[in-house]
A and B are shown apart, each in its own frame.
Chain A
């Protein structure tokens, strides 16, 4: 009996790439918009004609706040409370993700806020069961 062939999955591919430190997006062949994180169509024009593309991981951190312990999701209990930020990727997409390189405390977050937007770079954070996207503030 032949083995059943596994269908490709964009979500699975995203996390497999992330485990290798790569950021997977898709680019629209019609309008050129990046959809990140990737889906099977263009988030702007709805075209199904998209192709995988790797993003640079270069970003600007616009705002950073923190959250609570215990975390809302059990996956993040070990690192809670953590800093969570609002970023613009070099290629354009707006992303929210865990931020590394600043303490999840009001004084540190205030100092960062008063500095204004700062450069950050993507980093893979390996949780127990999943690699997740984080950004580290550049020194």
Chain B
């Protein structure tokens, strides 16, 4: 493959809702899925200085149709986004959805078909349609969420025979990491605590995050003066896949995100500072996601290599990195595969605070999948949203001191599609 964009493409507008629960989170309570999505789309279009009628095509992403119940999302959302009569399609790449949408948009623009494309993603992983109501919702049980979500995982053999996301994505990877690098279980646990602390600290600085309470504040609320004691308590933070604990995992959320992509020459005169799509790479894999070494994922390697080749960058050029952190240990492994963190030293970097927004290796400054929350098909867009804010210097209290010029956003779309997006300042 030639692995080139034949024309330069930019992101000219971004939008993202708060992530949380449509039944109880401030800013979200009472919204319908149509209105939730429209908020993110309006923010992105306003940011680009456009209306829905100014775009040529719409790529509408939603993964878990069971809870959203809006298949044919393009037409069902068209009158909520002002995009009636546009070209478009509903698509999904699970938790990579919105960034795969950005990649498809970039390809269609670089091919000379469209000038401007709107991509959006919406998802409800905490609430579902109540009965047949057009506006009432109800909570989804833990088991139902995973039964629906795991429909994206090998149905012939894996889910049917006891596959469990927490074992495969967390426990086994953690053990692989500890054995490979000689990390003790005690050091591993302390490192996961520090990583969670960083992610929740970032969430506390982000008014759109699902969880905005620091780990220390949460521990104090439960009566612990030492937050590490809280971390180690079976009651509050049990092992869900030994040696991985509950607070190293994804937090489900309802949410929506959106972005406008356009020809780079058109973006220059736009309303907001554009960010260039320098390159991307995609690679998918069925289970098993790794061979004998659970820390090395071949499809990630291929996606990263393709993206870096297209963008003409190397790991040392990256100023800001988001890796998919549905599983905190997996996010460290990916950062080491990318070369942003030294192999075997990722946990130490977390312990030293180097992954904070003000550290020398900032990651997931929006709070990541744990604190910002995870709304499957909308989440990749939330990662890109954060990267664009950081590159513009608009990330507020969590702004990286020197605004990044090169950002890399990696996501795992269950189960699995590795998607890597390289963004560069223009």
Report which A residues bind B (CB closer than 8 A): 11, 14, 37, 43, 62-68, 70-76, 82, 84-86, 88, 94-98, 106, 109-110, 113, 116, 130, 132-134
B146 CB contacts on chain A under 8 angstroms: 72-73
A95 CB contacts on chain B under 8 angstroms: 288
Chain B minimum-CB-distance residue to A65: B171
Measured in the bound complex, the distance between the Cα atoms of B169 and A67 in whole Å is 11
A37, A75, A96, A134: the one contacting B168 at CB < 8 Å is A96
B242 CB contacts on chain A under 8 angstroms: 65-66, 106, 109-110
Judging by beta carbons under 8 Å apart, are A97 and B161 in contact? yes
B297 CB contacts on chain A under 8 angstroms: none
Q: Nearest-CB distance from B261 to chain A (Å)?
A: 33
| Known A63-B175, A72-B143, A72-B150: A94·B292 in contact at CB below 8 Å | yes
Interface residues of B in 310-332 (CB under 8 A from A): none
Q: Nearest-CB distance from B374 to chain A (Å)?
A: 16
Measured in the bound complex, the distance between the Cα atoms of B191 and A16 in whole Å is 46
Measured in the bound complex, the distance between the Cα atoms of B166 and A37 in whole Å is 22
Measured in the bound complex, the distance between the Cα atoms of B161 and A85 in whole Å is 12
Judging by beta carbons under 8 Å apart, are B162 and A132 in contact? yes
Chain B minimum-CB-distance residue to A39: B156
Interface centre among B147, B174, B241, by most chain A C-beta atoms within 10 angstroms, is B241
A110 CB contacts on chain B under 8 angstroms: 185, 242-243
Measured in the bound complex, the distance between the Cα atoms of B155 and A11 in whole Å is 10
Q: How many of B's residues come within 8 Å of A, CB to CB?
A: 40
Q: Nearest-CB distance from B216 to chain A (Å)?
A: 25
| Known A65-B171, A86-B294, A96-B288: A72·B165 in contact at CB below 8 Å | yes
| Known A62-B292, A94-B288: A84·B162 in contact at CB below 8 Å | yes
Judging by beta carbons under 8 Å apart, are B163 and A96 in contact? yes
Interface membership of B181, Cβ < 8 A: no
Q: Nearest-CB distance from B166 to chain A (Å)?
A: 5
Measured in the bound complex, the distance between the Cα atoms of B160 and A132 in whole Å is 8
Interface membership of B132, Cβ < 8 A: no
Judging by beta carbons under 8 Å apart, are B162 and A76 in contact? yes
Chain B minimum-CB-distance residue to A79: B162
Judging by beta carbons under 8 Å apart, are A74 and B157 in contact? no
B159 CB contacts on chain A under 8 angstroms: 73
Chain A minimum-CB-distance residue to B158: A96
B239 CB contacts on chain A under 8 angstroms: 66, 106
Q: Nearest-CB distance from B181 to chain A (Å)?
A: 14
Q: Nearest-CB distance from A130 to chain B (Å)?
A: 6
Interface membership of B403, Cβ < 8 A: no
Chain B minimum-CB-distance residue to A77: B143
Measured in the bound complex, the distance between the Cα atoms of B354 and A29 in whole Å is 51
Measured in the bound complex, the distance between the Cα atoms of B240 and A88 in whole Å is 24
Q: Nearest-CB distance from B294 to chain A (Å)?
A: 6
Judging by beta carbons under 8 Å apart, are B147 and A74 in contact? yes
Interface residues of B in 127-186 (CB under 8 A from A): 142-143, 146-147, 150, 156-168, 170-172, 174-176, 178-179, 185
B166 CB contacts on chain A under 8 angstroms: 67-68
Q: Nearest-CB distance from A126 to chain B (Å)?
A: 12
B165 CB contacts on chain A under 8 angstroms: 72
Measured in the bound complex, the distance between the Cα atoms of B173 and A65 in whole Å is 10
Interface membership of B223, Cβ < 8 A: no
B292 CB contacts on chain A under 8 angstroms: 62, 88, 94
Judging by beta carbons under 8 Å apart, are B162 and A70 in contact? no
Measured in the bound complex, the distance between the Cα atoms of B288 and A94 in whole Å is 7
Interface membership of B291, Cβ < 8 A: yes
Measured in the bound complex, the distance between the Cα atoms of B156 and A11 in whole Å is 7
Measured in the bound complex, the distance between the Cα atoms of B244 and A68 in whole Å is 12
B172 CB contacts on chain A under 8 angstroms: 63, 65, 84-86, 96
Interface membership of B222, Cβ < 8 A: no
B170 CB contacts on chain A under 8 angstroms: 65
Interface centre among B142, B178, B292, by most chain A C-beta atoms within 10 angstroms, is B292
* CB-CB nearest 9 A-B residue pairs: A65-B171, A84-B167, A72-B146, A132-B161, A67-B164, A37-B157, A63-B175, A98-B162, A65-B241
